[in-house]
Structure 1
């Protein structure tokens, strides 16, 4: 008889500090890597275990992955690399995160036998949080590896006051790190606390309104592709325009897990 862990159903939901905020994870297969089966499996397990997953798909460069982690204010990044360039992929991603003040992001992944033991040791020395080996897979199982990573990632407190103390003045739209902090605060902080911080961060008056367009539809209707085509034309015909593109997906009632796949279609933003 399969246990709940074997079947992918969580015995307990691992949450970030405070016990309320789901763990937010970026998932991707490395650049020049068309092997998307492994990251697809881990993406589904992460979601089933209560994570908010932002899936980028395969063939994604370090800059794309790190930028997504910054814009989404993620707790963790999961990368699979089976193309032989794991050392470069993980270290470059780590470097970009550090340069942008996101060294707290838990960076983990694996690549089966294509990542040698000496490379795993080297990546650990370079500050990569965790590279799972085939031995880890045998000892922990798929769900065990996911929950091990979630436990480590849950130590990151995205709602720590020290993070929001960095916002001391007006926030420009190009400051993706600060904008992502404000979005995290808007979703998870007390309304009065967010309101105070937002008043400090405003770069223009409340009365200076802008058009807001909402796009909705059933799954697979083509919303992401439509938005990508619109953004391609805006960037081509009006490159000085600033557009805030917010994408949301439903949360599972039972586990709190969610999957955001819109970034896969957003070629205009890469």
Structure 2
């Protein structure tokens, strides 16, 4: 019988630093997703610091890494040390690297505290799905306790506590947070799937951090859960090049429902970030359809991201966000027809807002 987890399992997946071989980790994380796991995927060539920072901010149960670059012993040991130093010894570490990781090195790493390094022999005896189920089984434990306050990784905010509070909210056991005096601005970014919302978000984060020297920023990013399996690819961090900063925090949420663009717990996550005093909070939705405008209920300013490829101009009349968005961004403007799209969107905006003399 296939293993069914009791808890919602969240894992960080990546290929190690200086490793361009991402075929294996992509196969593994897709199988994990098919078994109901929420995957925060970082792609390839990721450092220990980036992986640990992500694991702590996202409050995951485990990290799964492929490493074919030869420096695996030092890489995995440093990851374990960094987790321990920052009060996150509970996060499991799983790895694999085919024949590049010798049996003696596997024993050394597992004796050091790495949860499991999978060998080619494990692949033969357990199979791909067997190894994945083993990872999920060992990561299937609840995260239901508040953590002691501790500023870690040089961050200005206690990102470990923030991550756990959001997890508690998702589990329905969030303590009351006070944000009555909050002056945080909440920016909502929404748009169709593939419009480039994450890239736009990353550019806003980069410019915010460059232009302000002390202000802090939080990003709450939502991706859809699969109706068939309940799993989710929370892949927006792949596009985030500026988020690894002492003044920044990011948390990925799965919708945990179908046919919606936001998690039911997004307001809780916003409230937690407000209570922590972030100056700017960005909420990025999953890809939306023409009728969706749910982001408006949660934000102070809304940004609708679209591309020039929306079909005929009449399609613009069906997009609800063109009625309500404070800002409209036509992304991927280098594509053919972009200037025509700009003209059409301007016309539709004027019609929607009765600006016939503008």
- What is the TM-score of this pair, normalised by structure 2? 0.64
CA-based RMSD: 1.7
* 1:73 matched residue in structure 2: 59
Q: Which has the higher strand share?
A: 2
Q: Is the 8 A contact 1:173 1:179 kept in 2?
A: no
Does the 8 Å contact 1:79/1:108 carry over to 2?
yes
1:137 paired with 2:128, answer no
* Structure 1 residue runs without a partner (length 5+): 1-9, 17-21, 200-204
Within 5 Å, give how 1:53-202 maps onto structure 2: 53-154=39-140, 156-159=141-144, 163-164=145-146, 166=148, 174-190=157-173, 194-196=174-176, 198-199=177-178
Tell me whether 1:48 sits opposite 2:48 in the alignment: no
What are the Cα deviations for residues 173-229 of structure 1, in whole angstroms up to 9, with x where unaligned? 611101001110111123xxx243x34xxxxx4132321111112222111111111
For 2:219, what is the secondary structure of its paired residue?
A: coil
Instruction: Give the structure 2 partner of residue 254 of structure 1.
Output: 228
Alignment correspondent of 2:329: none
* Alpha-carbon offset, residue 269 of structure 1: 1.6
Query: How many Å apart are 1:151 and its aligned residue?
Result: 0.7
Distance 1:165 1:122 in 2: 30
Post-superposition shift, 1:83? Answer: 0.4
1:166 to partner: Cα distance: 2.8
SS of match in other structure, 1:27: strand
Structure 2 residue runs of 5 or longer lacking an equivalent are 245-358
Shift of 1:132: 0.2
Contact 1:66 1:97 survives alignment (8 Å): yes
Please say which structure displays the higher CA radius of gyration.
2
Larger helix fraction of residues: 1
Find the aligned partners of 1:51 and 1:15 in 2 and give their Cα distance: 11
Assess if the C-alpha contact under 8 Å between 2:106 and 2:117 holds in 1. Answer: yes
Runs of 4+ in 1 over 3 A off after TM superposition: none
Tell me if structure 2 keeps the 8 A contact 1:13–1:255: no
1:14 aligned onto 2:10: no
The 3 A distance-change label for structure 1 pair 173 and 189 is farther
Deviations 1:104-130 (A, max 9, x none): 011001000000111001001110000
Residue-by-residue CA offset, 1:1-52 (whole Å, 9 max, x unaligned)? xxxxxxxxx9453232xxxxx1000000000000000000011011001100
Tell me, in whole angstroms, the C-alpha distance in 1 between the residues paired with 2:95 and 2:191. 33
The count of residues paired between Structure 1 and Structure 2 equals: 240
CA apart distance, 1:240: 1.1
- Aligned residue for 2:169, secondary structure, equals helix
CA distance in 1, matches of 2:139, 2:111: 19
Contact 2:38 2:231 in 1 (8 A): yes
SS in 2 for 1:212: strand
Contact 2:67 2:97 in 1 (8 A): yes
Distance 1:48 1:73 in 2: 21
Task: Verify the 8 A CA contact 1:30 1:61 in the aligned structure 2.
Answer: yes
| SS of 1:101 mapped into structure 2 | coil
